[in-house]
């Protein structure tokens, strides 16, 4: 084979792999938030199956062309079932389609989107309460995970035969509540499901996690198995948490790590049982440590995986944003109060299913589109949209932690911000001059 033919063959291979970036079984390692982030820190585990879809939340089938698969996990107290399957986009964002995902979200908008999706699709397992209001319980955990958590994903290839067997097994086995925090938790379900595809590759860590299955432990083993089997095309990616006023999720830990990092647990345990405490410290700091974000690409439901924004690119955008900060602050009194505007707004959906915020401005009420599909079609003043986009960009450009965006994500948001500013900049000659001096293309 000539050198040119070899190059063409290699290129074709990588193109085919890229086009199937999400084909197979994918372990989702989800960061903790709220009380779990403060007191526990082990997070949540789920499994994304790209060729298996949800006929209903408790019945699986093969996906049709264009469908993105389903996320399946064990939950506690959802209509007496052990596992629930949800299509990928609703699981992440509580909307039907990727184009409906909001650019920014607060708790009120998330609650609205979750309840709207429940009413449209999940009444069978989470029916209205007696007063017609959303029911109590943990059903909100089924949808909109991307608002509360950063999610790391690790994917291995599977075969149609393996998918066939899993569909038959889960559809035929009893789907009855088994949840137990110690012996049958969400990570146990993910461990058993992945071991169905690849037997005995995942197991508990008796010392480091005190015998409890944790999401981080099975993620570490899953990645190590994939690294030893290149024919399974291991890929790692991060699904960033949607920007907004919702608190950011916390780094995920194992049991020993959680105890070691919280001195209020470590010091009393050291006094009571110094040998056990020493073992936990060794387990937390030992060679088995695992960085979930290592080599992780950035997920976007509309395109293939892309690398995170580089540090040099981040600095360029941060400088550009600082150059806009002063005129925005001078000309737009709502820039510093975006969170309050968002909190006071009433959410609803437009005719295409895109989220809209109904905002009261004095005696007038305006609609502010908050998805990429409708943000430029709002009746709201451009200043409000500017505030939202500047806030979003600040979150994407924040240093530290997990990857928050790819270069294309930030470039798209920067371009959108410029379009909005240009649409409403006529009143400010100073802003005109600043925009003229700004680069129009991404670095």
The pLDDT tens digits for 210-220 are 788 999 999 99
Report how far residue 117's alpha carbon sits from residue 92's, in angstroms, rounded to the nearest whole number. Answer: 12
Alpha helices in 332-406 (DSSP H): 338-344, 382-396
DSSP character at residue 36: I
The stretch 25-43 carries a mean pLDDT of 79
pLDDT at 251 (0 to 100): 87
Query: What distance in Å separates the CA atoms of residue 236 and residue 417, rounded to the nearest whole number?
Result: 30
- Segments of 301-354 assigned E as strands: 303-306, 346-349
Would you call 379 helix, strand, or coil by DSSP?
Answer: coil
Cα 382 to chain centroid, rounded? 28
Residue 363 tokens, joined = 């005696």
For the chain, give the mean pLDDT: 82
pLDDT attached to residue 288: 54
Query: Does 259 have pLDDT greater than 80?
Result: no
Q: For residue range 365-411, list pLDDT tens digits in order.
A: 999 999 999 999 888 888 888 889 988 999 999 888 889 999 999 99
Q: Tell me how far CA of residue 322 lies from CA of 84, 226, 369, 394, in angstroms.
A: 45, 42, 25, 10
Q: What Cα–Cα distance (Å) separates residue 213 from each residue in 34, 168, 198, 271, 373?
A: 21, 26, 17, 27, 41
- Can you tell me the distance from the alpha carbon of 412 to that of 47, in angstroms, rounded to the nearest whole number? 30
Do 239 and 297 meet the contact criterion of CB atoms below 8 Å apart?
Answer: no
Segment among 56-65, 138-147, 182-191, 416-425 with least mean pLDDT: 416-425
* pLDDT-based confidence at residue 11 (cuts at 50, 70, 90): very low
Q: Find the farthest-apart pair of alpha carbons in the chain and give their distance in angstroms, rounded.
A: 75
* 37 confidence band (pLDDT: 50, 70, 90): very low
The token pair at 379 is 């009746």
pLDDT for res 4:
45
Return the closest-CA partner of residue 221 out of 261, 254, 246: 254
Residue 425 has pLDDT above 90, yes or no: no
Q: For residue 339, give every residue at least 6 positions away whose Cβ sits within 8 Å of its Cβ, in sequence order, or none.
A: 106, 245, 391
81 within 8 A of 121, measured Cβ to Cβ: no
**Band of pLDDT at residue 412, cut at 50, 70 and 90:** very high
What integer is the mean pLDDT of 15-26? 58
What's the Cα-to-Cα distance from 344 to each of 132, 203, 303, 331, 431, rounded to whole Å?
A: 24, 48, 34, 22, 28
Beta carbons of 324 and 386 less than 8 angstroms apart: no
Tokens matching residue 78: 């959802």
Q: What is the pLDDT of residues 70-85, one digit of tens each?
A: 999 998 889 999 999 9
Contact 239, 21 (CB under 8 A): no
Using only C-alpha atoms, the chain has a radius of gyration, in whole angstroms, of 23
Query: Across the strands, what pairs with 72?
Result: 47, 85
In whole angstroms, what is the distance from residue 159 CA to residue 163 CA? Answer: 6
For 42-104, give the DSSP string: --EEEEEETTEEEEETTEEEEPPTT---EEEEEEEEETTEEEEEEEHHHHHHSSSSGGG-BSS
- Mean pLDDT across the stretch 82-99? 96
The answer to whether residue 40 scores a pLDDT higher than 50 is: yes
Average of per-residue pLDDT across 301-313: 89
pLDDT higher than 60, residue 260: no
CA distance 384 to 427: 15
What pLDDT is recorded for position 347? 96
What are all long-range contacts of 394-399, with beta carbons under 8 Å and residues at least 24 apart? 394/321, 395/243, 395/244, 396/240, 396/243, 396/309, 397/309, 397/314, 397/317, 397/318, 397/321, 399/314
pLDDT on residue 363:
85
Strands (DSSP E) found in 186-310: 235-239, 297-300, 303-306
Of the listed ranges 11-25, 178-192, 249-263, 361-375, the least confidently predicted one is 11-25
Render pLDDT for 261-305 as a digit per residue (tens, 0 to 9).
555 555 554 444 454 445 555 455 554 578 898 889 999 877 889
């Amino acid at each position: 084979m000539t050198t040119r033919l070899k190059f063409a063959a290699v290129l074709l291979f990588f193109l085919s792999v890229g086009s199937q970036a999400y084909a197979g079984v994918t372990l989702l390692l989800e960061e903790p938030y709220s009380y779990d982030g403060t007191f526990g820190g082990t997070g949540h585990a789920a499994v994304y199956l790209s060729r298996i879809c949800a006929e209903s939340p408790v019945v699986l089938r093969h996906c049709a062309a264009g469908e993105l698969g389903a996320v399946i996990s064990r939950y506690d107290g959802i209509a007496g079932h052990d596992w629930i399957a949800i299509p990928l986009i609703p699981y992440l964002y509580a909307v039907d389609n990727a184009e409906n995902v909001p650019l920014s979200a607060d708790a009120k908008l998330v609650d609205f989107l979750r309840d709207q999706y429940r009413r449209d699709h999940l009444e069978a397992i989470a029916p209205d309460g007696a007063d017609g209001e959303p029911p109590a319980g943990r059903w909100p955990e089924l949808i909109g995970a991307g608002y509360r958590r950063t999610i790391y994903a690790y994917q291995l290839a599977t075969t149609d035969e393996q998918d066939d067997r899993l569909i038959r097994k889960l559809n035929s086995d009893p789907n009855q509540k088994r949840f137990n925090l110690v012996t049958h938790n969400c990570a146990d379900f993910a461990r058993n499901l992945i071991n169905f595809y690849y037997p005995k590759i995942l197991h508990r860590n008796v010392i480091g996690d005190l015998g409890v299955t944790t999401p981080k432990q099975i993620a570490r083993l899953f990645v190590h198995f994939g690294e030893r089997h290149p024919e399974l095309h291991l890929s790692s990616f991060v699904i960033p948490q949607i920007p907004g006023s919702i608190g950011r999720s916390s780094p995920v830990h194992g049991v020993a790590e959680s105890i070691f990092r919280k001195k209020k647990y470590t010091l009393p345990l050291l006094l009571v049982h110094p040998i056990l405490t020493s073992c936990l410290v060794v387990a937390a700091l030992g060679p088995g440590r695992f960085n979930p974000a290592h080599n992780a690409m950035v997920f976007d439901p509309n395109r293939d995986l892309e690398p995170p924004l580089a540090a040099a690119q981040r600095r360029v955008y941060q400088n550009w944003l600082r150059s806009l900060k002063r005129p925005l602050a001078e000309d737009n009194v709502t820039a510093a109060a975006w969170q309050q505007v968002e909190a006071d707004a009433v959410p609803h959906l437009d005719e295409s299913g895109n989220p809209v915020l109904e905002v009261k401005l004095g005696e007038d009420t305006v609609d502010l589109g908050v998805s990429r599909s409708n943000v430029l079609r709002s009746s709201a003043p451009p200043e409000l949209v500017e505030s939202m986009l500047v806030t979003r960009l600040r979150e994407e450009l924040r240093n530290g932690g997990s990857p928050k965006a790819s270069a294309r994500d930030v470039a798209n948001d920067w371009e959108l911000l410029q379009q909005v500013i240009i649409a409403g900049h006529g009143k400010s000659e100073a802003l005109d001059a600043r925009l003229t001096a700004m680069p129009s293309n991404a670095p």
